[in-house]
Structure 1
């Protein structure tokens, strides 16, 4: 009778083997290409390296991308919550649909005392599930992902990607449709162009889509093989005249920042706040004594622990920056007599 347990065979000499190549461990499969390779000894593993290294390095790079994508996705969810600007008072949920009802804003530009006055606490209590929250956080935020993650994404992918592109498309096959209802009860058309990132990897040239706002369409995986993404989720590609390069979306949104209205103020606040993403990543590396590249290679449980610590550290930097802005503007308000009858009268006349 054959044994129910067949021991692995050494890829070099054919003997029974127990030593698995660590490079294959936890590598995400694409079309079933991840098959664990075993060796009977370090000697056989070393002798087989020339034959084995191409696929091994390709899988290690792929694993690094998927983990980097996880880190960047968690950073973006956190960032959107810290910079949230939409005022929703009601959310209706049905199969494959969320309807978001926007409340009436009471803030007008002359009475904004600090850029952070434009931010609104995220309505956690209106969300039924954690996935609903993620979907609402990134709703209409694909441009934000390309713009505000630009520097930290470039930093984290430096040893993983050989090229990075910003790609615009029209999405299809949405699992979720989100409808935005304005205070006057008009409904916003839910059909928008969508912004994603295309990366080509080192060690083999595999191509992937990075979609950090896919949750608004019911997709929660940030890393998807490029051809699979195009075939299943892209109706057709769109152009972005004038800023069609990696970093172009950051330049577009930065050019729209200013102090004349709430929209311009929010863009300006994001330009400054997004600097904390890269700064926070580097300061976390220094304090934790581990680089991002090394963190991505940790055993999965340790990686997830470090990922959370990193995101929390970056969040603390954003909070610190916002608190500093509030304190700075508080002192400025005292200096100009903000809130006094004379100040109110002066700015009321300007509004008229």
Structure 2
């Protein structure tokens, strides 16, 4: 494959550095691989050139690394969009009757109306007046939602990643050393329960990444982390083996309806039915509004596309009538 000059305008670096082609002073970056995420320390440094001509001549040497960095960038874009999509789903179609959000001694307490806690059949906007802290809001939106996210985001994940990665798997891990725990009150203490996430392998190499769309419930900010780093810093161990990821938007609900303990009460059945309709409404948008090349383009292009996507998704979700 021949050299293709990046379409986006080169950025001017704040401090000149050496040209990767000739060693002269340079101040413009390769826009194809700039801002790629780091897998190992220092392995994603930006590459600079003194001129377009020098960049073109250096392309045969640089192209393999550039393409690998672009794959990382696409994977990060996917992870960020998945998280934003799930947060949008929860923000617009929230189902907890919260009355307060308070952080005390390392635990974020989500207080809910005890009389309405069993009724999850209503859908309404998240009560923004309860907190101005973004981390606390995201923790409330993702609390005990990892299984839901794995199912709901299945079709969107596969659409986005089909040209990016060679393998997508799902696993449960035991979390350790989280910045805080999130506890629904009244509600069962979910501390110690396994946490579900994705493990993605990029082609042509041994890179394995974790995509954690609901790590906000533990105070985790990064949505994509190298696999070994995640296991070292955030998880104590794998609680289940890695398995193939083929979930549909209602996969977990299809299993729940077969469990007598989750359907013995009429309200439980109503809750599940409403949840199913809400997820199918989300899936309708994904089926019609996500194109194959969504992750392509410059960083500015992707920022704009993501903003429009989330805006339109929220508009679509507000049309849901549960």
TM-score (norm 1): 0.75
State whether structure 2 residue 36 is matched by structure 1 residue 27. Answer: yes
State whether structure 2 residue 113 is matched by structure 1 residue 103. Answer: yes
Identify the match of residue 274 of structure 1 among 251, 272, 279.
279
Between 259-268 and 132-141, the greater mean CA deviation after superposition: 259-268
Q: Which residue of 2 aligns with 1:293?
A: 295
* 1:300-311 to 2 correspondences below 5 Å: 300=300, 302-311=301-310
Q: Which residue of 2 aligns with 1:160?
A: 164
Between 257-266 and 225-234, the greater mean CA deviation after superposition: 257-266
Q: Which residue of 1 aligns with 2:255?
A: 255
Q: State the shift of 1:121 in Å.
A: 4.4
Q: Looking at CA atoms only, which structure, 1 or 2, has the larger radius of gyration?
A: 1
Query: What is the alpha-carbon root mean square deviation over aligned residues?
Result: 3.0
Alpha-carbon distance in structure 1 between the residues aligned to 2:15 and 2:289:
46
Q: Provide closer, same or farther for how the CA distance between residues 279 and 189 of structure 1 changes in structure 2, counting only shifts above 3 A.
A: closer
Please state whether the residue corresponding to 2:84 is helix, strand or coil: helix
Alpha-carbon distance in structure 1 between the residues aligned to 2:101 and 2:290:
39
Q: State the shift of 1:204 in Å.
A: 3.5
Q: State the shift of 1:309 in Å.
A: 1.4
* 1:1-352 to 2 correspondences below 5 Å: 7-30=16-39, 31-105=41-115, 117-182=121-186, 188-239=189-240, 244-248=243-247, 250-257=250-257, 261-281=266-286, 283-284=288-289, 291-294=293-296, 297-300=297-300, 302-320=301-319, 322-323=320-321
Q: Is the 8 A contact 2:154 2:247 kept in 1?
A: no
Q: What do the CA deviations read for 1:33-69 (whole angstroms, capped 9, x no partner)? A: 1233233444443333232112111111111111221
Between 247-256 and 171-180, the greater mean CA deviation after superposition: 247-256
Q: How many matched pairs? A: 302
Please state whether the residue corresponding to 1:274 is helix, strand or coil: helix
Q: State the shift of 1:246 in Å.
A: 1.0
Higher helix share: 1
Q: Is the 8 A contact 2:97 2:117 kept in 1?
A: no
Alpha-carbon distance in structure 2 between the residues aligned to 1:269 and 1:226:
35
Q: Which residue of 2 aligns with 1:346?
A: none
Q: Provide closer, same or farther for how the CA distance between residues 317 and 13 of structure 1 changes in structure 2, counting only shifts above 3 A.
A: same
TM-score (norm 2): 0.81
Alpha-carbon distance in structure 2 between the residues aligned to 1:285 and 1:189:
34
Alpha-carbon distance in structure 2 between the residues aligned to 1:65 and 1:248:
19
